[in-house]
Amino acid sequence: MELKGEMSMLNVLHLQSTDLKEISQQIEAKRDEVPAFFLNSPVVVDCSSITDDLKKLDLKGLKACLTDLMFVPVGVRGIEPEQQAMVTKSGWPVLRAGPKKSTSKPSGKESSKPDESAKTDGDSEIQAQVSEEKATISRIIEKPVRSGQQVFVDEGDAVLLTHTSAGSEVMASGSVHVYGALRGRVLAGVHGDTNARIFCRSLDAELIAIAGRYQLLDEGDTDLRGKPAVIRLDGEKLIIEALE
Amino acid sequence: MSKVIVVTSGKGGVGKTTSSAAIATGLASKGLKTAVIDFDVGLRNLDLIMGVERRVVYDFVNVINGEATLKQAMIKDKRVDNLFILPASQTRDKDALTEDGVESVINELKADGFDYIVCDSPAGIEKGAFMALYFADEAIVVTNPEVSSVRDSDRILGILQSRSKVAEEGGSVKEHLLVTRYSPERVEGGDMLSVEDIVEILSIPLLGVIPESGSVLQASNSGSPVILDEASTAGMAYSDAIDRFLGEDVPHRFMNVEKKGFFKKLFG
């Protein structure tokens, strides 16, 4: 068997109100637009717009309501850490927040009053900015990564000023940049970012991986061995190209 | 200011003890007060290489446990002034080495005015090796010209720069590369890694290259550090390495295949 973190498409329900009756009516209306599409589809509830009023929301009732409407409730996200116990107690799994883009759609799926939604829009924009800033934080490693050592950058890029040795491992949620020889294992986009890339001044890696797609680098796999290279993901295939 | 030097490698049998003995002897012959400590508890060898096996009364573990004083356990070398040997225990295991115990011994040696404290590390990356490197200011990494030895040295370098006391305090241990058992003929034949390859892989400064030489085995068997054999190539290479360690600019020797002269060709 295999257990790993991967990205999947999920419907996310962005709540803007805590009134269960109102929510249920709006979901039902939405579902009836394309009933076949939503039938038994998993749904994640995003509470980031109503965190202050989360207490007022009947979470158990929401779960029952979603099940009745033939959705599969997966979990709740966008809550404050101190609210986690309350949410778990009501029978909902809590999901880690993903990178937020824009929280509310103008379609008015669950929006209540226009002035309120405008306000939350503004809030979510700030949030989006913050999370984007976070994502670009890179960690700079000045010393060589030696055999047996592991570097893990949970958020952002790994920038290595020297080399990595055979038997070492470098992992980053973003891209990996090596300004020297790359000799160990290297895994970019470990949280599923398929746009992550691997850059190095001299390619001699044992294993390369981007977003879970990996490849062992044996003799003769590439004629770029020992040369500057960039590795990117094209569909399911890792592409190794010369870095000019 | 006394300095703690660890002689380490990760892999066994590459010449750590031979090098420790030669380096300690070389430093002492320069008039520097030097102690060499055997950290290989349970498999002690340094006393044999130094030719003091019949003079061991108390050992390193006795001192750590307070069963003997450091002065009682230290053996003064008879050939070279300023050289003292602290042997390991043969009857105990590595767990007898405690961080506090090792630290107190090293601090006592420092207070005693020793210029250099050479720690002869056991092979592996377990407790003994860890204790030997933990208090080091500088490290001499002994490597043979073959891939497994180079990889193990790489591993030890990583541990040095992340888990030693100096590293924990945010500094870095000064690294030196000592390539031993080097045979230029076999490098040329492609059987061995070249010094250039090793330096490229490990990327640390090269302290010296000790050529493969029969005199090393001879010296070990007779209990006299090879550096004292001034006629042997290995002895000369160790002397050069000591000069370099002390800051002199000495060119590397014995790295290329010697061209046999006409008469040597004729008469072997």
pLDDT digits (tens, 9 = 90+) for A186-204: 999 999 999 999 999 999 9
A20 against B54, higher pLDDT: B54
Average pLDDT, chain A: 80
In chain A, what percentage of residues exceed pLDDT 70?
Answer: 79
Q: Do A166 and B151 touch (CB under 8 A)?
A: yes
Give pLDDT tens digits for B232-265: 999 999 999 999 999 999 999 998 887 766 666 6
Mutate to test the interface with A, among B8, B126, B154 (most CBs of A within 10 A): B154
Report whether pLDDT(A215) > 70.
yes
Q: How far is A112 from chain B (nearest CA, A)?
A: 55
Report whether pLDDT(B124) > 60.
yes
Question: What are the residue boundaries of the structural domains of chain A, listed by start?
Answer: 11-89, 128-242
Q: Which two tokens stand for residue B228?
A: 């004292």
Q: Do B155 and A143 touch (CB under 8 A)?
A: no
pLDDT for the residue B266: 64
Q: Is residue B265 part of a domain?
A: no
Using DSSP, state whether A159 is helix, strand or coil: strand
pLDDT for the residue A117: 41
pLDDT for the residue A33: 73
In this prediction, residue A159 has a pLDDT band, given cuts at 50, 70 and 90, of very high
In this prediction, residue A6 has a pLDDT band, given cuts at 50, 70 and 90, of low
In chain B, what percentage of residues exceed pLDDT 70?
Answer: 96
Q: Is residue B255 part of a domain?
A: no
- Report ipTM (2 d.p.): 0.80
In this prediction, residue A93 has a pLDDT band, given cuts at 50, 70 and 90, of confident
Report whether pLDDT(A103) > 50.
no
Contacts of B185 (CB under 8 A, 6+ apart): B257
pLDDT for the residue B260: 65
pLDDT for the residue A119: 43
Q: Looking at the DSSP assignment, which residues form a beta bridge with residue A170?
A: A151, A186
In this prediction, residue A112 has a pLDDT band, given cuts at 50, 70 and 90, of very low
Report whether pLDDT(A80) > 60.
yes
With contacts defined as CB-CB under 8 Å, which chain B residues touch A147?
151-152, 154-155, 158
The CATH number linked to B132 is 3.40.50.300
- Domain with B219, as residue range(s), is 3-246
Inform me whether the C-beta atom of residue B13 falls under 8 Å from chain A C-beta atoms: no
Q: How far is B174 from chain A (nearest CA, A)?
A: 13
pLDDT for the residue A48: 81
Do residues A50 and A87 make contact, with C-beta atoms less than 8 angstroms apart?
no
In this prediction, residue A129 has a pLDDT band, given cuts at 50, 70 and 90, of very low
Chains A, B: CB contacts under 8 A, how many?
35
Q: Do B161 and A147 touch (CB under 8 A)?
A: no
Q: Do B162 and A149 touch (CB under 8 A)?
A: yes
CATH class of the region A128-242: mainly beta
Residue with tokens 């038997």: A167
Inform me whether the C-beta atom of residue A201 falls under 8 Å from chain B C-beta atoms: no
What is the separation, in whole angstroms, between the first and last Cα of chain B? 51
Inform me whether the C-beta atom of residue B157 falls under 8 Å from chain A C-beta atoms: yes
Give pLDDT tens digits for B17-64: 999 999 999 999 999 999 999 999 999 999 999 999 999 999 999 999
Inform me whether the C-beta atom of residue A147 falls under 8 Å from chain B C-beta atoms: yes
Inform me whether the C-beta atom of residue B203 falls under 8 Å from chain A C-beta atoms: yes
Inform me whether the C-beta atom of residue A161 falls under 8 Å from chain B C-beta atoms: no
In this prediction, residue A4 has a pLDDT band, given cuts at 50, 70 and 90, of low
Neighbours of A28 (CB within 10 A): 12
- Give CATH for domain A11-89: 3.30.70.260
Q: Is B261 annotated as a binding residue?
A: no
In this prediction, residue B69 has a pLDDT band, given cuts at 50, 70 and 90, of very high
Do residues B195 and B182 make contact, with C-beta atoms less than 8 angstroms apart?
yes
Q: Do B154 and A147 touch (CB under 8 A)?
A: yes
Inform me whether the C-beta atom of residue B174 falls under 8 Å from chain A C-beta atoms: no
Inform me whether the C-beta atom of residue B161 falls under 8 Å from chain A C-beta atoms: yes
pLDDT for the residue B100: 96
Report whether pLDDT(A185) > 50.
yes
pLDDT for the residue A125: 47
Q: What radius of gyration do chain B's Cα atoms show?
A: 18
What stretches of chain B show up as alpha helix (H) in DSSP? 16-29, 46-49, 60-64, 70-73, 99-111, 127-134, 147-163, 165-168, 184-188, 195-202, 214-222, 233-245, 262-267
Neighbours of B100 (CB within 10 A): 8
Phi and psi angles of residue A116, each rounded to the nearest 5 degrees, phi first: -65, -45
In this prediction, residue A18 has a pLDDT band, given cuts at 50, 70 and 90, of confident
Contacts of B162 (CB under 8 A, 6+ apart): A149
Q: Is B189 annotated as a binding residue?
A: no
Average pLDDT, chain B: 94
Give pLDDT tens digits for B130-149: 999 999 999 999 999 999 99
pTM score: 0.71
Q: Do B155 and A166 touch (CB under 8 A)?
A: no
Contacts of B134 (CB under 8 A, 6+ apart): B99, B102, B163, B164, B165
Q: Is B195 annotated as a binding residue?
A: no
If you average pLDDT over residues B161-173, what whole number do you get? 94
Q: Do B203 and A162 touch (CB under 8 A)?
A: yes
How many degrees, rounded to 5, is the angle at CA B5 between CA B1 and CA B10? 165
Report whether pLDDT(B219) > 70.
yes
| A143, A148, A163 member nearest B155 (Cβ) | A148
What is the separation, in whole angstroms, between the first and last Cα of chain A? 41
Inform me whether the C-beta atom of residue A144 falls under 8 Å from chain B C-beta atoms: yes
Q: Looking at the DSSP assignment, which residues form a beta bridge with residue A229?
A: A200, A242
